[in-house]
Amino acid sequence: MNTQQPATKEEMNRIELVIGKILRVGVVISATIMIIGLLLLLITGKSGYAHDAFPTTFKAIFSGIATLKPYAIMMLGIFCLILTPVLRVIVSIYSFYKEKDMLYVWITTFVLIILIISFFFG
């Protein structure tokens, strides 16, 4: 038990480091996109869309971004933010695998599968 404990701790430290890095990258990217969109909205005073409309499909969002519509950029930022926890789960699987912690590779893969199923239900 005592010989196993430090190994567990070191393993966790490495995994935490990788996941922390991924989360930071995800948060910085989505925050940057959101700030750009918000600044454009405040500077131009226009959302790029009529009335209170805003894009909710990938097609509409990307065609909006091509013409620099503030709401389209803001929606992309929100979507990136929503993806950060999912990315965290995916990276965890890889990290546990690298540490040869197969039990947790299975546990985390299982979580990802349920997550994907619930995406499709939505």
Sequence length of the chain is 122
Residue from 15, 40, 65, 91 in contact with other proteins (CB under 8 A):
15
Helix axes 70-98, 4-44, angle to 10 degrees: 170
Is 50 a binding residue for other proteins by CB under 8 A? The answer is no
Distances (CA, A) of 35 to 26, 29, 41, 95: 14, 10, 10, 31
The secondary structure of residue 66, as a DSSP letter, is: H
Q: In the chain, what is the straight-line distance between the N-terminal and C-terminal CA atoms, in Å?
A: 44
Q: Count residues near other proteins (CB under 8 A).
A: 54
Q: How far is the CB of 50 from other proteins (least distance, A)?
A: 14
Between residue 53 and residue 92, which ones bind other proteins under the rule CB under 8 A? 54, 56-57, 71, 74-75, 77-79, 81-86, 88-89, 92
| Unique residue bearing structure tokens 């933010």 | 81
Is 35 a binding residue for other proteins by CB under 8 A? The answer is yes
Tell me how far apart the alpha carbons of residues 66 and 50 are, in angstroms, rounded to a whole number.
17
Q: Which residues contact other proteins (rule: CB under 8 A)?
A: 1, 4, 8, 12-13, 15-17, 19-20, 23-24, 26-27, 31, 34-35, 37-38, 41-42, 45, 47, 54, 56-57, 71, 74-75, 77-79, 81-86, 88-89, 92, 103-104, 107-108, 110-111, 114-115, 117-119, 121-122
